[in-house]
Amino acid sequence: MKTIDELLAAGVAGRRVFVRADLNVPLDGTTITDDGRIRAVLPTVKALADAGAKVVVASHLGRPKGAPDPAFSLAPVAARLGELLGTGVAFATDTVGDSARETVAGLQDGQVAVVENLRFNAGETAKDDVERGAFADQLAELADVYVGDGFGAVHRKHASVFDLPARLPHYAGYLIATEVDVLKKLTEDVRRPYVVALGGAKVSDKLAVIDELLGKADRILIGGGMAYTFLKAQGHEVGISLLQEDQVPAVREYIERAEKTGVELVLPVDVLVAGEFPDLKTKAPAHPTTVAADAIPADQEGLDIGPETRKLYASKLADAATVFWNGPMGVFEHPDYAEGTKAVAQALVDSPAFTVVGGGDSAAAVRILGFDENAFGHISTGGGASLEYLEGKTLPGLAALED
């Protein structure tokens, strides 16, 4: 795929450049609680603006149902982007309507505008190719060139990700180029030992990547809510812990495959449990207790890996040359259940390995728990996209950027 450097070398002064970013940031009302995804696209936006382009930034935010919804407006994002750039950023109150056309028409060379949430338009996410293409046609009228830099959305076959690049000269932005380069280091000529730490709530979200990694990784560590389905597959009771009973047969098969192929599959040896889910808003003390992973009481729920498991996982990460981590080890949003996730993050910081944090909740946890982002090899902006790449899937947004 052609990169933004090739576009800049050809000259962009006076040209309208459509940047498809992923600005799907978490909001508390209108307050952005984590601006990591905005900062991730800054190098691309700034390079284009500094070169004299008229930069039109577009993104989705949340899951509005194909119509305007003030709760998902990108207005706070446009304001934050302006603060980070140190300059005014224009904001269009629609995506392809009068406001968007007037806002883009009013841009001077080197200026930046953000258009309203792409998903306020049903055509963005339409399954129908014609409907999606019609929306892409409208978006194409706003620009002369397309730059894809929303890695967190490249696994979606959406109008602004898949259809629009076909209508304009297209290039990969700095973020996407970096993400792809990092993912190649996890799939091609990998430095070993290669250790993968997987967490998060649902094992069903990770089965496909586990299936692929059983042929590539040397060691896989399992934590988070998904661990209880693994423990159940081993014949242990898990109390009222998160459990996907329908996935137990598949998990049992993966455990057997790991044994046959020599992949070390590491499960918790102890867990923190409580009788009810903690209050994440008040952060009230939850009074957890630690029990062996094979001795979870019937009326208790596992909410984090225990202290012995933290030590075990740290030791399993210590000799790695490559590490990929996706998914927290527990309910890290509550301080009583953050230690497992913190221990894995710290093990990555301490490791000399090439370490990749696979986006989503893992990336949020790194920031919320106060770690220096520069202490990791790479923090991805797209958890779902990273997983699908590792699964070997063709990602529509990357395929669309190929020449």
* Sign of CA pseudo-dihedral 17, 18, 20, 23: positive
Task: State yes or no: 265 annotated in a binding site.
Answer: no
- Which has the closest alpha carbon to 207: 250, 178, 165? 250
Round to whole Å and give the CA distance between 398 and 386.
12
Active-site residue, 360 included: yes
Task: State yes or no: 327 annotated in a binding site.
Answer: no
Task: State yes or no: 393 annotated in a binding site.
Answer: no
Active-site residue, 37 included: yes
Task: State yes or no: 69 annotated in a binding site.
Answer: no
* Sign of CA pseudo-dihedral 16, 18, 25, 181: negative
Phi, psi dihedral angles at 92 (to 5 degrees): -95, 130
Task: State yes or no: 160 annotated in a binding site.
Answer: no
CB count within 10 Å of CB 249 equals 10
Task: State yes or no: 46 annotated in a binding site.
Answer: no
Task: State yes or no: 37 annotated in a binding site.
Answer: yes
39, 167, 202, 216: which is the annotated catalytic residue?
202
The answer to whether residues 109 and 117 touch, using CB atoms and an 8 Å cutoff, is no
What tokens does 109 get?
């060379």
Task: State yes or no: 80 annotated in a binding site.
Answer: no
Task: State yes or no: 302 annotated in a binding site.
Answer: yes
Looking only at the bridges linking them, the beta strands covering 170-172 and 145-148 are: parallel
CB count within 10 Å of CB 68 equals 15
The answer to whether residues 306 and 271 touch, using CB atoms and an 8 Å cutoff, is yes
Task: State yes or no: 156 annotated in a binding site.
Answer: yes
Active-site residue, 202 included: yes
37, 157, 232, 316: which is the annotated catalytic residue?
37
Task: State yes or no: 23 annotated in a binding site.
Answer: yes
Task: State yes or no: 206 annotated in a binding site.
Answer: yes
Contacts of 118 (CB under 8 A, 6+ apart): 58, 59, 60, 95, 124, 158, 159, 160
What tokens does 179 get?
């993400």
Round to whole Å and give the CA distance between 7 and 11.
6
The answer to whether residues 90 and 67 touch, using CB atoms and an 8 Å cutoff, is no
Task: State yes or no: 223 annotated in a binding site.
Answer: no
Task: State yes or no: 340 annotated in a binding site.
Answer: no
Task: State yes or no: 61 annotated in a binding site.
Answer: yes
Task: State yes or no: 158 annotated in a binding site.
Answer: no
173, 306, 360, 397: which is the annotated catalytic residue?
360
What pairs with residue 357 in β-bridges? 325, 379
Task: State yes or no: 119 annotated in a binding site.
Answer: yes
Cis peptide bond upstream of 193, omega within 30: yes
330, 358, 384, 397: which is the annotated catalytic residue?
384
Active-site residue, 232 included: no
Binding-site annotation, residues for (2R)-3-phosphoglycerate = 37, 119, 156
Residues marked active site are found at: 37, 202, 360, 384
Binding-site annotation, residues for substrate = 22-24, 37, 60-63, 119, 156
Binding-site annotation, residues for ATP = 206, 302, 333, 359-362
